[in-house]
Amino acid sequence: MNAVLLSHLADGEEKVRSNLIEFSQNLAEDLQQFRDAGLNIIETAQGYCLVPQLPLLNSLQISTALSPYQVHYQPVMSSTNEWILQNIPNLNKGDLCLAEYQTAGRGRRGRQWLSPFAGQMIFSFYWTFDPRKSIEGLSLVIGLAIAEVLNVQVKWPNDILFDGRKLGGILVEIANHKNGLLNLVIGVGINVSLPTQTEISQPYAQLSEMDPDIDRQTLFPTLIQHLYARLERFEKEGINAEFQKAWQNHNAFFNSEVNVITEQRLISGIEQGIDKRGYLRVQCGAELKMFNGGEVSLRRKTE
């Protein structure tokens, strides 16, 4: 994908055809590739225009609301996680990167994360922990914080659901940065308003179903501030009883029959929430089994 051309179109303003040629060796082919990816490129009398799914973010307003954290806004980039990884030496804990579109977004286990232009909340941020403390259950903390703000549900370990369909995902990566701390890059993608013909292979949800007038501009600071508050509490208290109860209140599969899929086999049982490490608890007959997020997938038994 021609990211340079896409970046030039990213302000949503009409661009004269003759001016676009300098960004593309084959303009028609590049524009068709954008359309095939689900971007709304319209032809005008003078040239072309990229129509955003929602109004573009005002990064200055978000930066002001989230001060003193540094907010880097770039409408088009390969990956917000990748940007944080590359810029960690210049970042402080809590600094963020926001985008309208990712050309190489990634989800859990390396899956592609599709992102329509200006139709999602796409962000990554830099966070650090004392390396002597356990971060087991970290992705659950992020998922719960998002679910609490959006009033939706979570599926262990870190899927965000609305009406049983995936609303968003989380990607946590450890960064190799020698500063005596555990350095993390945390990426989040949340569907807000997707084009009608979005090619996603699983049932998906979007915030516009709950509120057709949803405003990303005001939601971003609220969500991030609550997320940071949850992370700071986790750093001090871990997965305590309060957290386990809050998780249970948003747990989409609690007390449901589930299948736990490991590399070796499929295990069925009744989902019983999480323990103090963030491990999944599943009642399998007379035995209560525990699973951690790195080794298994969870499905409702009817799926």
Give the residue numbers marked as catalytic.
108, 166, 299
Q: What is the 3-state secondary structure (H, E, C) of 189-247?
A: EEECCCCCCCCCCCCECCHHHCCCCCCHHHHHHHHHHHHHHHHHHHHHHCCCHHHHHHH
Say how far apart CA 59 and CA 75 lie, in whole Å.
10
Preceding amide of 68 cis, omega within 30: yes
Q: Which helix (H) or strand (E) holds 287?
A: strand 287-291
Say how far apart CA 264 and CA 297 lie, in whole Å.
12
Contact 290, 276 (CB under 8 A): no
Helix (H/G/I), strand (E/B), else coil: 161: strand
How many CB atoms lie under 10 A from the CB of residue 232?
A: 12
Tokens representing 125 are 């941020």
Amino acid at 100: E
Say how far apart CA 23 and CA 25 lie, in whole Å.
7
Backbone angles phi, psi at 24, to 5 degrees: -150, 135
How many CB atoms lie under 10 A from the CB of residue 96?
A: 23
HSE-up of 248 (CA within 13 Å, CB side)? 15
Say how far apart CA 47 and CA 53 lie, in whole Å.
20
Tokens representing 151 are 């009033």
